């Protein structure tokens, strides 16, 4: 049956929360949003939302893995398993993300992505790739393997960008020699340039913005703040993120990486229109606590998961996260002054706009992709649809033909 109707839910629309409306899905898009009674008796598959929230699907700009797999494992099984795991938690689109790694692993990552998206699977869509590195500051490498860091020379940039036509985003440290030219080249190719793993001063970040950088990778994490030089205070990347009104930031709102006080501060200054929630999830997402590898099984970094977060073995820093998007929404919605609607916006409409997909993804509207998630008041996901097809359904959701 080509048509699907979702009724009986509380819709999170761009103009606000609405009840008494139904979604008509056809051909992978939202065909109409109309009063429920107009679709009674329609020749369609009916999904009874049963009072659940009906939201645009969650969009995650930064994912390394989940369910025991990392994208750098370089197998179709890994790609599909990660997409399936995150789809169970409401993610309908994600960017497979690399870490610094040997060149042959990065090439295999690019090749496997192309194969994985060409095959059928049930999970979050993967519209493109995020290359996190290798152009980072050694002083802010964090959990990235410093032995594979590079300077963005013309040759290195060409090798990275020509490796795949699916790269949608590159994270880099703007203070490196060649980084401003990198930003200009990314802009020329229509690739999102993001500031990350950086020791840059505020002035260097402002120069980067002029060169095309428009996003900050996991804001506060592996990022410079105020330092003293010759006794004088120098503002860093964090301060630049606040000073530049048009600069977008992504945050890992898992309740561990950033305390509530900082979540409140970021929200107060940047607002939901310039904040994207991201998981930065590693292979341990959806798995028991213990020891794991960040990156491939052959050259990944050993990390430990405890207290609901991934850490370096010496516990000196976090190492990605084990979060899923529903956890981010749940955490952010509980921050004073934010609320559910704005938390959802930072997981849907804002990342869609950052990717240039506004109006197509991240919104419940006529003509938008039928990427939809149903969840309860505790943001527990009950059903996920990608392009109108159910990829995850809990046992207590209903599908009926009237």
Sign of CA dihedral 99, 100, 105, 106: positive
Task: Report the mean per-residue pLDDT for the chain.
Answer: 95
Strand order in the sheet with 29-35: 29-35, 21-26, 3-7, 45-48, 398-400
Same domain, 377 and 274: no
Interval 299-316: pLDDT, tens? 888 999 999 999 999 998
Same domain, 268 and 340: yes
Contacts of residue 4, defined as CB under 8 A and 6 or more positions apart, other chains included, come to 24, 25, 26, 44, 45, 46, 47, 370, 388
Interval 169-207: pLDDT, tens? 999 999 999 999 999 999 999 999 999 999 999 999 999
Domain that includes residue 377, residue range? 3-55+362-400
With beta carbons less than 8 A apart as the criterion, state whether 195 and 224 touch.
Answer: no
Query: For 162-201, where are the alpha helices, taking DSSP H only?
Result: 179-188
% of residues, the chain, pLDDT over 70: 98
User: What is this structure's pTM?
Assistant: 0.96
Same domain, 383 and 289: no
Contacts of residue 110, defined as CB under 8 A and 6 or more positions apart, other chains included, come to 129, 163, 164, 166
Same domain, 119 and 200: yes
The length of the chain, given as a count of residues: 402
The pLDDT value recorded for residue 266 is 98
Three-state DSSP state, 181: helix
**Rounded-to-integer distance, Cα 24 and Cα 115, Å:** 32
State the CATH number of the domain containing residue 25.
2.30.40.10
Interval 144-163: pLDDT, tens? 989 999 999 999 999 999 99
State the CATH number of the domain containing residue 301.
3.20.20.140
Residue 401 clears pLDDT 80, i.e. is over it:
no
Interval 215-237: pLDDT, tens? 999 999 999 999 998 899 999 99
Strand order in the sheet with 309-311: 290-294, 301-306, 309-311
**Rounded-to-integer distance, Cα 84 and Cα 116, Å:** 12
The pLDDT value recorded for residue 398 is 62
**Rounded-to-integer distance, Cα 328 and Cα 332, Å:** 6
Same domain, 227 and 321: yes
The pLDDT value recorded for residue 177 is 98
% of residues, the chain, pLDDT over 90: 92
Paired sense of beta strands 192-195 and 213-216, if any: parallel
At residue 45 the predicted structure's pLDDT band, cuts being 50, 70 and 90, is very high
ω into residue 134 within 30 of 0, thus cis?
A: yes
Interval 269-290: pLDDT, tens? 999 999 999 999 999 999 999 9
């Amino acid at each position: 049956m080509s048509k699907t109707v979702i009724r009986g839910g509380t819709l999170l629309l761009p103009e606000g929360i609405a009840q008494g409306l139904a979604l008509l899905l056809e051909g992978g898009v939202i065909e109409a949003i109309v009063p429920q009674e107009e679709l009674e008796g329609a020749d369609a598959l009916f999904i009874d939302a049963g009072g659940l929230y009906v939201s645009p699907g969650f969009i995650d700009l930064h994912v390394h893995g989940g369910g025991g797999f990392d994208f750098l494992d370089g197998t179709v099984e890994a790609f599909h398993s990660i997409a399936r795991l995150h789809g169970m938690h409401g993610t309908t689109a994600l960017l497979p993300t690399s870490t610094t790694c040997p060149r042959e692993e990065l090439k295999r990552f690019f090749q496997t992505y192309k194969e994985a998206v060409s095959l059928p699977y049930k999970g979050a869509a993967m519209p493109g790739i995020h290359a996190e590195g290798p152009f980072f500051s050694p002083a802010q490498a964090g959990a990235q393997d410093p032995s594979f860091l590079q300077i963005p020379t013309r040759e290195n940039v060409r090798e990275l960008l020509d490796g795949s036509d699916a790269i949608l985003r590159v994270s880099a440290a703007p203070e490196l020699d060649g980084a401003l030219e990198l930003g200009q080249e990314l802009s020329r190719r229509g690739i999102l340039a993001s500031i990350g793993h950086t020791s840059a001063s505020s002035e260097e970040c402002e120069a980067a913005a002029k060169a095309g950088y428009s996003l900050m990778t996991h804001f506060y994490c592996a990022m410079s703040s105020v330092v003293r030089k010759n006794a004088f205070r120098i503002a860093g990347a964090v301060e630049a993120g606040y000073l530049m009104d048009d600069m977008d930031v992504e945050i890992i709102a898992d309740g561990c990486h950033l305390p509530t006080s900082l979540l409140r501060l970021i929200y107060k200054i940047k607002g939901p229109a310039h904040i994207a929630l991201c998981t930065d999830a590693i292979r341990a997402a959806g798995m028991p606590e213990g020891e794991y590898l960040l990156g491939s099984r052959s050259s990944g970094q050993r990390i430990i998961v405890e207290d609901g977060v991934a850490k370096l073995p010496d516990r000196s820093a976090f190492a990605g996260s084990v979060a899923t998007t529903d956890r981010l929404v749940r955490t952010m919605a509980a921050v004073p002054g934010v609320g559910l609607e704005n938390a959802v916006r930072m997981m849907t409409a804002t990342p869609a706009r950052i990717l240039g997909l506004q109006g197509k993804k991240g919104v419940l509207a006529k003509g938008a992709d039928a990427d939809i998630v149903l969840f309860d008041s505790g943001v527990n996901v009950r059903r996920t649809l990608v392009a109108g097809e159910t990829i995850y359904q809990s046992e207590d959701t209903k599908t009926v033909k009237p």
